[in-house]
Amino acid sequence: MEYRMIDDVKSSLLGFGCMRFPVDKDGGIDEQEATKMLDIAREAGVTYFDTAYPYHNKESEPFVGKYLSQFPRDSYYLASKLPCWEIHSLEDAKKMFALQLERLQKDYIDFYLLHALNLDRWNEMESYGVYDYLATLKAEGKIKHLGFSFHDNYEAFEKIITAKKWDFCQIQYNYMDTDEQAGDKGYLLAEKLGVPMVIMEPIKGGSLASLPDEVTKPFKEMAPDCSVASWALRWVGSHSNVKVILSGMSTYDQVMDNLKTFEKFEPLSEQELVAVKRVKEHLESRIKNGCTGCRYCMPCPKGVDIPQNFAIWNAYGKYMNVGGTKWEWNHEIEDSAKAKNCVGCGKCETLCPQKLSIRENLKNLQKELDELLTK
């Protein structure tokens, strides 16, 4: 197993993300199968286990805490997170942390994060004095390492990471999202500041694990026995300031494939990086239209979120991830903001720097994504 130093801790590079366990017929965690997966990962040397208050309808923390209680406390590292959207006062933060210790059956948490920060949430947490409170918990030994997970743009990331002293940070990072959220610029800034990084979504929610054969030809030509997912994981791990790569494993086979990748981890060679670049270029060529998300077309008089509609549509074109696209179309955009609400006024097209046929594209994507829901 590959290990890296994150602050004073020698952690497995592969971290077990505890948000996608197999589920039973009632929708709860299939504890027997999940335990089997955790056992094989731990026995192979995985030491970093990442959970959070909302995962699995709030079942993940109690299950993971109970599972880990079987083993010596110094044999693993447990990460969990403060659900900032639930926090509306300092007292809320105090109650939540105490509740999480109880749910996890622990006296302390090794890696504790402010969960899913964007700039607005960070400003709210600052107004309550949450960081300072968590810093006191760290001084008391109830938190060993204090960090944050992040979902916003680079400018917000820069403000948050430079505002306080952080032991680590967690961002979404993969070979397709180098210009999304914190991205490459965020990685380089954290490296410059000496802030170790934990990476989530290295396989982009599974999209980079099951690509069409014509896309992955460069991978198969070089390493026919290696999974497509292993390339995404190795790309992330080839960055030296990445100390833990989280994988939300949901099947035993996924655990075994990941263990194979990290047992004798090898950074990508120059030739392999070229192969990744070719795959990325192929995927980007599959987009439905050339929307850059600049938002010059907004606001729409009828409330259509044009860039968000196109983002979901273009992601489907790239990855053909049916399950993920269905979820995004149902949960990531309000019904009132969907393309069907377009009345064809054309205002957006007069403002679009890319000169896209926005009205026609909106009609096509609404039809295509609605049809996808029936599959």
Mean pLDDT, to the nearest integer, of 363-369? 94
* Confidence band of 292 (pLDDT split at 50, 70, 90): confident
Q: How many CB atoms lie within 10 A of CB 299?
A: 12
Quick check: 240 pLDDT over 90?
Answer: yes
Report whether 252 contacts 40 (CB < 8 A): yes
Report whether 243 contacts 234 (CB < 8 A): no
Q: Which of 31, 91, 28 is nearest to 55 (CA)?
A: 28
* Residue 213: per-residue pLDDT: 87
Evaluated on CA atoms 140, 142, 144, 146, the torsion sign reads negative
Q: Which of 201, 170, 176 is nearest to 20 (CA)?
A: 201
pTM reported for the whole predicted model: 0.87
Indicate the SS3 state at residue 14.
strand
Summarised one tens digit per residue, pLDDT across range 28-81 is 999 999 999 999 999 999 999 999 999 999 999 999 999 999 999 999 999 999
Summarised one tens digit per residue, pLDDT across range 256-291 is 999 999 999 999 999 999 999 999 999 988 889 888
* Confidence band of 295 (pLDDT split at 50, 70, 90): confident
Task: Tell me the C-alpha distance between 67 and 35, whole Å.
Answer: 8
Q: Which residues pair with 10 in a beta bridge?
A: 5
* Confidence band of 322 (pLDDT split at 50, 70, 90): confident
Q: Which of 48, 46, 59, 47 is nearest to 20 (CA)?
A: 59
Quick check: 95 pLDDT over 90?
Answer: yes
Task: Tell me the C-alpha distance between 350 and 103, whole Å.
Answer: 55
Q: Which of 315, 319, 171 is nearest to 239 (CA)?
A: 171
Go through 300-332 and write b for each residue having 16 or more CB atoms within 10 A of its CB, e for each that does not.
Answer: beeebbbbbbbbbbbbbbbbebeebbeebbeee
List Cβ neighbours of 46 (8 Å cut-off, separation of 6 or more).
Answer: 1, 12, 14, 15, 16, 259
Summarised one tens digit per residue, pLDDT across range 248-257 is 999 999 999 9
Q: Is 7 exposed, middle or buried (0-12, 13-18, 19+ CB in 10 A)?
A: middle
Pairing assessment for the beta strands 197-200 and 242-247 based on DSSP bridges: parallel
* Residue 319: per-residue pLDDT: 86
List Cβ neighbours of 360 (8 Å cut-off, separation of 6 or more).
Answer: none
Q: Which residues pair with 11 in a beta bridge?
A: 4
* Confidence band of 191 (pLDDT split at 50, 70, 90): very high
